Structure 1
Amino acid sequence: MRRGHSTRGFGGVLCTALLIVSLMFALTFTSSAVAQSDGESSQGMLERFDCRTLAERESPETALAWLERSLWANHCYEFQARAVRIGADGVRALALSHDVVEGAEREVARFLDGPPVVFERRGRIGRLSWAEGDTSVPASPAGIAEHLDSLYRLRLNGEERLANRTTIRLDIEPLDDLRYGHHFWLDTATALPLKHILLNEQGRVVETFQITELRRPQLHQGEIDLDRPRAHPGDPWHPAWLPEGFIPQPVETRSSRHDDDIDHGVYSDGLATLSLFVEPVEGSDQLIPGMHRLGISHAAVRHRDLGGRIRQVVVMGELPPGVLLRVADSVEWQGGGEGNIP
């Protein structure tokens, strides 16, 4: 079972992790999608969203409304599917499933050819950012849609038949050259994304992900829990620069596959996501500084003097290489003591 990123075993584990992250991104539309319920309790009970309310909503008419509906659909529909992913590293077939068990989501992606890799994610609906004191944390697909609306140009581009279903195409074009563009084909009956094309900063297709068979999509007849507000863990480092709109994500990044001295942060604008790793440079098991190509993704590697020690900084994601390098070069350690190592 594969979960998350790792900087160990660059040629294998890291590449596989990025591949899995990209396919799960296509499955869930955005890992930062969150929700909000009116059921919040002053006694600390979990907030919940009732998926049955989606059946009562009017059909979307605008690109922004379709985006919001799709964010909800990705949480609330239970289904099984077959899909293909086409990228620079070849073609892979997958089996996908999504369901809700006792208020928690469960997603499974299984590669049907090549190395036998299975990815499983369980959890509640996440929140948009870390909590700070008593400040309310934005937590709704509407909030994410509005956030993306200030960073991308959204427009509808006609209907098309895919996987024997009618879809509407949603084009999402970045307003700057710091992130990639996207085309989504949304099932008009459920708003689930049936096809996704990722476009680089030159407008060239770098990945196509398409569901070829969607089996028994059913709206979950119940509620899904929201994650509790989480306080920032207070890492001693932080990126001094991020593309506009990127927010630190309140996700658990500790893993048994990471050494205790490997720190990991995740940042997202609600659509694009990058991972940042910081660890001491020790021994020979290190990455060569520079830019590395990993399928459709990139990894920027720097060896920096941070906190009085030489540390390896790795920034990964499906973003322009120059953006990843700039983020890696901007990492600062609280209290100074930093620099670049040639």
Structure 2
Amino acid sequence: MTGAQWLEKVGDAMKSLNYQGTVVFMKSGQIDTMKYQHTVRNGVESERLTSLNSPLREITRKSNEISCLYKETSQKTETRHPIDRSFIVNLPAAPARLDEQYLLAVAGQEMIAMRPAQIVAVLPKDGLRYARKIWVDKASWLPLKVEVYGQEGNVLEQVLFTELDVDPANPPSDPEQAPVQDEHDTHQHVAQVEVFENSAFELKNWPAGFEKVFFIRNTMQQSKKTVEHLLISDGFSNVSVYFEEKGEKTIEGLRTLGPVNSFSRVIGKLQVTVLGEVPAETVEFVARGVALRDN
């Protein structure tokens, strides 16, 4: 099979199987070990991450609804995301369509969590996105390990199953959180998807293979400022473009935090920030392509 065919199998397995295990997340020098659970009921996906170390928290996704409960403070946040996004790995719906942007190569086999795994290398054909490898369980087609690499070949991010239990016939318990008591501090964040053409901005250029995914407007609770958010993606890499009114202190130029780069610029009285797990060149390229829409 080709690399694209392997990844299509992975996408199908992630959306249809019931499985659970222990996952280690490594990013920006931080290591987080969590219990992971995935179920599918009546075609609806649910995921749950439960931390094993402080700060103790439980993160649940049911389709596109995400909630996070901090057990030590009883604070709970709820967010409705415009799209379904896995906690483990982002995959394009049709990997073969990205053959002009990525080489999807079958690259040997290894043992991960005592399970035979096929390595699929995702190699960009330009300098505008990161390379990655995905270790695929040969028995279930599930991703056992994911690594994202910087332009110099260094590991920027890793997700690793240390144990995995797959049982399509007998799903684990439903990952529903216990009802939140009245004394819990709950914050809800719900934004409706809007048409980007109604924005005062336009995006004149972005990397080939990227597409507009959604556009929303959020009102910040403290400042009451409206922040517009456009997400573009090539399926593997997501880039967010934020538009807001310029504050007293403006932010301009490049910032880097681990695998995440951001580039900010000011257009008149407005602040634009482009952020994503992509090379610095990419966020600057997108930011330079933002302009005010002609009325």
Using the size of structure 1 for normalisation, the TM-score is 0.65
Contact preservation (8 Å) 1:147, 1:270: no
Map residues 211-250 of structure 1 onto 2, 5 A cutoff. Answer: 211-218=161-168, 232-234=195-197, 235-250=199-214
Partner of 2:230: 265
Structure 1 counterpart SS, 2:206? coil
- Per-residue CA deviations over 1:69-101 (Å, capped at 9, x if unaligned) read 111112111222211122333222122222224
- Structure 2 unaligned regions, length at least 5: 65-81, 85-90, 172-192
Judging changes above 3 Å, is the alpha-carbon distance between structure 1 residues 142 and 323 closer, same or farther for their aligned structure 2 residues?
closer
Distance in 2 between the 1:195 and 1:260 partners?
A: 40
Structure 2 counterpart SS, 1:106? strand
Choose which of 200, 205, 209 in structure 1 pairs with 2:150. 200
Tell me the number of residue pairs that the alignment of Structure 1 and Structure 2 aligns.
248
Partner of 2:242: 277
The CA RMSD measured in Å over matched residues stands at 2.8
- Structure 1 unaligned regions, length at least 5: 1-60, 128-140, 222-229, 337-342
Distance in 2 between the 1:142 and 1:327 partners?
A: 20
TM-superposed deviation, 1:255:
5.3
Q: Give the number of the structure with larger relative contact order, counting CA–CA contacts within 8 Å between residues 6 or more apart.
A: 1
Map residues 1-342 of structure 1 onto 2, 5 A cutoff. Answer: 61-123=1-63, 144-218=94-168, 232-234=195-197, 235-250=199-214, 253-254=216-217, 259=224, 261-283=226-248, 288-305=251-268, 310-335=269-294
Distance in 1 between the 2:255 and 2:92 partners?
A: 36
Q: Amino acid of the residue matched to residue 77 of structure 1? A: L
Judging changes above 3 Å, is the alpha-carbon distance between structure 1 residues 109 and 161 closer, same or farther for their aligned structure 2 residues?
same
Structure 1 counterpart SS, 2:230? strand
Q: Amino acid of the residue matched to residue 87 of structure 1? A: K
Distance in 2 between the 1:83 and 1:163 partners?
A: 10
- Per-residue CA deviations over 1:172-228 (Å, capped at 9, x if unaligned) read 10011110001110011111111011012222221221111112342799xxxxxxx
Contact preservation (8 Å) 2:156, 2:258: no
Distance in 1 between the 2:246 and 2:55 partners?
A: 30
Contact preservation (8 Å) 1:277, 1:315: yes
Judging changes above 3 Å, is the alpha-carbon distance between structure 1 residues 233 and 300 closer, same or farther for their aligned structure 2 residues?
closer
The structure with the largest helix share of the pair is 1
TM-superposed deviation, 1:114:
4.1
Percent identity, please.
Answer: 26
The structure with the largest strand share of the pair is 2
Contact preservation (8 Å) 1:302, 1:328: yes
TM-superposed deviation, 1:283:
4.4
